[in-house]
Amino acid sequence: MRIAYDIIGNKEKAVALLGVNIKNPKKAAKEIMKRHKSVKSVLQKLGERKEIFRLYPCKLIAGKRNTEVIHKEHNYLIKIDPRKVYFSPREGTERQRIVEEVKSGERILVMFSGAAPYAIAIGKEHPENEIVCIEINLKAVEYAEKNIRLNNLMNIENIAGDVMEIRNLGNFDRIIMPLVERAIDYLDDAVLHSKKGTIIHLYGLSHQRKNFKDLEERVKEVAETYNFKYKIIGRQDVLPYAPRIRKVRLDLKVL
Protein backbone atom coordinates (compact mmCIF):
# COMPACT_ATOMS: atom_id res chain seq x y z
CA MET A 1 0.00 0.00 0.00
CA ARG A 2 1.56 3.31 -1.14
CA ILE A 3 0.86 6.18 1.25
CA ALA A 4 2.05 9.79 1.16
CA TYR A 5 2.96 10.90 4.68
CA ASP A 6 5.56 12.61 6.86
CA ILE A 7 6.77 11.48 10.26
CA ILE A 8 7.64 14.06 12.89
CA GLY A 9 9.22 12.90 16.14
CA ASN A 10 11.71 10.33 17.39
CA LYS A 11 12.07 6.61 18.10
CA GLU A 12 10.01 6.86 21.29
CA LYS A 13 7.12 9.00 20.08
CA ALA A 14 6.20 10.32 16.66
CA VAL A 15 3.25 11.72 14.72
CA ALA A 16 2.44 10.80 11.13
CA LEU A 17 0.93 13.44 8.87
CA LEU A 18 -1.11 12.18 5.93
CA GLY A 19 -1.61 14.08 2.70
CA VAL A 20 -4.93 15.60 1.69
CA ASN A 21 -5.98 13.13 -0.98
CA ILE A 22 -5.73 9.82 0.89
CA LYS A 23 -8.82 7.82 -0.10
CA ASN A 24 -9.00 5.58 2.97
CA PRO A 25 -7.25 7.49 5.78
CA LYS A 26 -8.23 5.05 8.57
CA LYS A 27 -6.74 2.12 6.66
CA ALA A 28 -3.65 4.19 5.88
CA ALA A 29 -3.29 5.17 9.55
CA LYS A 30 -3.48 1.55 10.63
CA GLU A 31 -0.81 0.57 8.10
CA ILE A 32 1.51 3.42 9.17
CA MET A 33 1.22 2.54 12.85
CA LYS A 34 1.98 -1.06 11.95
CA ARG A 35 5.10 -0.05 10.00
CA HIS A 36 6.33 2.48 12.55
CA LYS A 37 5.92 1.48 16.19
CA SER A 38 7.00 4.96 17.31
CA VAL A 39 3.97 6.58 15.66
CA LYS A 40 1.42 7.21 18.40
CA SER A 41 -0.91 9.51 16.45
CA VAL A 42 -1.90 9.92 12.80
CA LEU A 43 -3.18 13.23 11.48
CA GLN A 44 -4.54 14.03 8.05
CA LYS A 45 -4.25 17.38 6.31
CA LEU A 46 -7.70 18.62 5.32
CA GLY A 47 -6.47 21.33 2.97
CA GLU A 48 -3.68 23.73 2.18
CA ARG A 49 -1.99 25.93 4.74
CA LYS A 50 -4.23 28.80 5.81
CA GLU A 51 -4.05 32.36 7.01
CA ILE A 52 -1.05 34.10 8.51
CA PHE A 53 -0.08 31.24 10.83
CA ARG A 54 0.49 28.94 7.83
CA LEU A 55 -1.07 25.92 9.50
CA TYR A 56 -2.55 22.89 7.80
CA PRO A 57 -6.08 22.19 9.04
CA CYS A 58 -5.75 18.67 10.45
CA LYS A 59 -7.95 15.87 11.69
CA LEU A 60 -6.89 13.15 14.15
CA ILE A 61 -7.42 9.84 12.33
CA ALA A 62 -5.96 7.42 14.86
CA GLY A 63 -4.04 7.28 18.13
CA LYS A 64 -3.50 9.67 21.01
CA ARG A 65 -4.87 13.19 21.12
CA ASN A 66 -1.63 14.57 22.51
CA THR A 67 0.35 15.22 19.31
CA GLU A 68 3.29 17.12 20.82
CA VAL A 69 6.59 15.41 19.99
CA ILE A 70 10.33 16.06 20.06
CA HIS A 71 11.80 15.80 16.58
CA LYS A 72 15.46 14.86 16.32
CA GLU A 73 17.29 16.41 13.38
CA HIS A 74 21.07 16.29 12.91
CA ASN A 75 22.57 17.41 16.25
CA TYR A 76 19.58 19.30 17.65
CA LEU A 77 16.03 18.76 18.91
CA ILE A 78 12.77 20.50 17.97
CA LYS A 79 9.72 20.23 20.24
CA ILE A 80 6.63 20.72 18.13
CA ASP A 81 2.90 20.05 17.82
CA PRO A 82 2.02 20.00 14.11
CA ARG A 83 -1.57 20.96 14.96
CA LYS A 84 -0.38 24.25 16.42
CA VAL A 85 2.82 25.17 14.56
CA TYR A 86 3.97 24.54 11.00
CA PHE A 87 7.06 22.32 10.72
CA SER A 88 8.41 20.31 7.80
CA PRO A 89 10.79 17.40 8.48
CA ARG A 90 11.52 17.33 4.75
CA GLU A 91 13.44 20.59 5.04
CA GLY A 92 16.12 19.23 7.37
CA THR A 93 18.62 18.91 4.53
CA GLU A 94 17.91 22.49 3.45
CA ARG A 95 18.43 23.75 6.99
CA GLN A 96 21.86 22.10 6.98
CA ARG A 97 22.70 23.75 3.67
CA ILE A 98 22.10 27.12 5.30
CA VAL A 99 24.14 26.15 8.37
CA GLU A 100 27.06 25.38 6.08
CA GLU A 101 26.81 28.85 4.52
CA VAL A 102 26.93 30.70 7.83
CA LYS A 103 30.23 32.22 8.95
CA SER A 104 31.45 32.73 12.49
CA GLY A 105 30.54 36.10 14.00
CA GLU A 106 27.59 36.83 11.71
CA ARG A 107 24.50 38.60 13.00
CA ILE A 108 21.53 36.69 11.59
CA LEU A 109 17.82 37.47 11.18
CA VAL A 110 15.28 34.70 10.62
CA MET A 111 11.92 35.98 9.41
CA PHE A 112 8.75 33.84 9.74
CA SER A 113 10.82 31.72 12.14
CA GLY A 114 8.11 29.38 13.46
CA ALA A 115 9.36 27.14 16.27
CA ALA A 116 12.89 28.30 15.32
CA PRO A 117 14.30 25.24 13.49
CA TYR A 118 16.60 27.38 11.31
CA ALA A 119 17.79 29.38 14.31
CA ILE A 120 18.34 26.24 16.41
CA ALA A 121 20.27 24.54 13.60
CA ILE A 122 22.53 27.58 13.17
CA GLY A 123 22.82 28.24 16.89
CA LYS A 124 24.05 24.73 17.66
CA GLU A 125 26.80 25.03 15.06
CA HIS A 126 27.62 28.69 15.76
CA PRO A 127 26.95 29.48 19.45
CA GLU A 128 29.03 32.65 19.05
CA ASN A 129 26.61 34.15 16.49
CA GLU A 130 23.73 36.44 17.43
CA ILE A 131 20.43 35.21 15.96
CA VAL A 132 17.16 37.16 15.99
CA CYS A 133 13.83 35.53 15.08
CA ILE A 134 10.53 37.19 14.15
CA GLU A 135 7.31 35.16 14.23
CA ILE A 136 3.66 36.26 14.34
CA ASN A 137 2.19 33.00 15.72
CA LEU A 138 2.41 33.29 19.52
CA LYS A 139 2.14 29.52 19.94
CA ALA A 140 5.13 29.12 17.62
CA VAL A 141 7.08 31.64 19.70
CA GLU A 142 6.28 29.59 22.81
CA TYR A 143 7.67 26.48 21.14
CA ALA A 144 10.71 28.44 19.94
CA GLU A 145 11.47 29.38 23.55
CA LYS A 146 11.09 25.75 24.61
CA ASN A 147 13.47 24.69 21.83
CA ILE A 148 16.09 27.22 22.86
CA ARG A 149 16.06 25.76 26.38
CA LEU A 150 15.89 22.19 25.10
CA ASN A 151 19.08 22.73 23.10
CA ASN A 152 20.84 24.75 25.84
CA LEU A 153 21.34 27.80 23.63
CA MET A 154 21.94 31.37 24.75
CA ASN A 155 22.37 33.19 21.45
CA ILE A 156 18.80 33.34 20.06
CA GLU A 157 16.24 36.11 20.63
CA ASN A 158 12.58 35.63 19.72
CA ILE A 159 10.39 38.59 18.78
CA ALA A 160 6.63 38.06 18.51
CA GLY A 161 5.13 40.20 15.78
CA ASP A 162 4.66 40.99 12.10
CA VAL A 163 7.89 41.43 10.14
CA MET A 164 6.29 44.42 8.38
CA GLU A 165 5.99 46.23 11.72
CA ILE A 166 9.22 45.28 13.49
CA ARG A 167 11.86 47.98 13.12
CA ASN A 168 14.99 49.32 14.84
CA LEU A 169 16.75 45.98 15.02
CA GLY A 170 19.88 47.27 13.31
CA ASN A 171 21.53 45.61 10.33
CA PHE A 172 22.25 41.93 9.79
CA ASP A 173 24.91 40.01 7.90
CA ARG A 174 22.49 37.27 6.83
CA ILE A 175 18.69 37.17 6.55
CA ILE A 176 16.65 33.99 6.08
CA MET A 177 13.13 34.18 4.59
CA PRO A 178 11.57 30.67 4.62
CA LEU A 179 7.94 31.72 3.96
CA VAL A 180 7.86 30.02 0.58
CA GLU A 181 4.47 31.24 -0.64
CA ARG A 182 4.87 34.93 0.25
CA ALA A 183 8.46 35.75 1.22
CA ILE A 184 8.85 37.83 -1.94
CA ASP A 185 6.15 40.20 -0.59
CA TYR A 186 8.43 41.04 2.34
CA LEU A 187 11.71 41.41 0.47
CA ASP A 188 11.69 45.18 0.93
CA ASP A 189 11.37 44.64 4.71
CA ALA A 190 14.42 42.39 4.61
CA VAL A 191 16.37 45.07 2.76
CA LEU A 192 15.51 47.55 5.54
CA HIS A 193 17.44 45.28 7.93
CA SER A 194 20.38 44.82 5.57
CA LYS A 195 23.61 46.63 4.71
CA LYS A 196 26.12 46.42 1.91
CA GLY A 197 27.16 42.77 1.66
CA THR A 198 24.16 41.28 3.50
CA ILE A 199 23.15 37.85 2.19
CA ILE A 200 19.40 37.26 1.88
CA HIS A 201 18.17 33.68 1.50
CA LEU A 202 14.83 34.17 -0.26
CA TYR A 203 12.54 31.16 -0.62
CA GLY A 204 9.84 31.05 -3.25
CA LEU A 205 8.06 29.02 -5.90
CA SER A 206 9.11 28.45 -9.50
CA HIS A 207 7.58 26.49 -12.34
CA GLN A 208 10.01 23.72 -13.22
CA ARG A 209 10.13 24.89 -16.85
CA LYS A 210 10.98 28.44 -15.74
CA ASN A 211 14.06 27.27 -13.81
CA PHE A 212 14.07 30.17 -11.29
CA LYS A 213 13.35 32.81 -13.95
CA ASP A 214 9.82 33.59 -12.72
CA LEU A 215 11.04 34.23 -9.16
CA GLU A 216 14.03 36.20 -10.44
CA GLU A 217 11.68 38.48 -12.39
CA ARG A 218 9.67 39.18 -9.25
CA VAL A 219 12.85 40.04 -7.34
CA LYS A 220 13.80 42.45 -10.11
CA GLU A 221 10.38 44.13 -9.90
CA VAL A 222 10.67 44.58 -6.13
CA ALA A 223 14.21 45.98 -6.46
CA GLU A 224 13.08 48.51 -9.05
CA THR A 225 10.06 49.54 -6.96
CA TYR A 226 12.05 50.05 -3.75
CA ASN A 227 15.28 51.18 -5.41
CA PHE A 228 17.88 48.77 -4.09
CA LYS A 229 20.65 46.90 -5.85
CA TYR A 230 21.50 43.24 -5.47
CA LYS A 231 23.33 40.37 -7.07
CA ILE A 232 22.14 36.75 -7.29
CA ILE A 233 24.99 34.67 -5.89
CA GLY A 234 23.24 31.31 -5.53
CA ARG A 235 20.28 29.20 -6.62
CA GLN A 236 19.00 26.07 -4.90
CA ASP A 237 16.25 23.69 -5.97
CA VAL A 238 14.88 22.69 -2.56
CA LEU A 239 11.84 20.40 -2.83
CA PRO A 240 8.81 19.63 -5.00
CA TYR A 241 5.83 21.75 -3.94
CA ALA A 242 3.02 20.83 -6.34
CA PRO A 243 2.79 19.26 -9.81
CA ARG A 244 5.43 21.05 -11.94
CA ILE A 245 6.03 23.60 -9.16
CA ARG A 246 9.29 23.61 -7.17
CA LYS A 247 10.22 25.17 -3.87
CA VAL A 248 13.44 27.07 -4.57
CA ARG A 249 15.88 29.43 -2.90
CA LEU A 250 17.61 32.48 -4.33
CA ASP A 251 20.66 33.84 -2.51
CA LEU A 252 20.84 37.61 -2.92
CA LYS A 253 23.76 39.83 -1.98
CA VAL A 254 22.84 43.44 -1.24
CA LEU A 255 25.09 45.86 -3.11
Q: What is the pLDDT of residue 210?
A: 87
Q: What is the pLDDT of residue 19?
A: 83
pLDDT along the chain (255 residues), means of 10: 87 92 88 95 80 76 96 95 92 97 97 97 97 96 98 97 94 96 96 97 93 95 97 96 93 98
> What is the number of other CB atoms lying within 10 angstroms of the CB of residue 203?
23
SS3 203: strand
* Region of residue 168 (phi > 0: left; psi between -120 and 50: alpha; otherwise: beta): left
Q: What is the pLDDT of residue 50?
A: 59
Q: What is the pLDDT of residue 1?
A: 63
Q: What is the pLDDT of residue 176?
A: 98
Q: What is the pTM of this model?
A: 0.94
Q: What is the pLDDT of residue 3?
A: 79
Residue 117's contacts (CB-CB under 8 Å, 6 or more residues apart) are 73, 78, 87, 91, 95, 147
Domains and CATH numbers, the chain: 5-67 (3.30.300), 89-254 (3.40.50.150)
Q: What is the pLDDT of residue 26?
A: 92
The full length of the chain comes to 255
Q: What is the pLDDT of residue 51?
A: 59
CA 137 to chain CA mean position, Å: 13
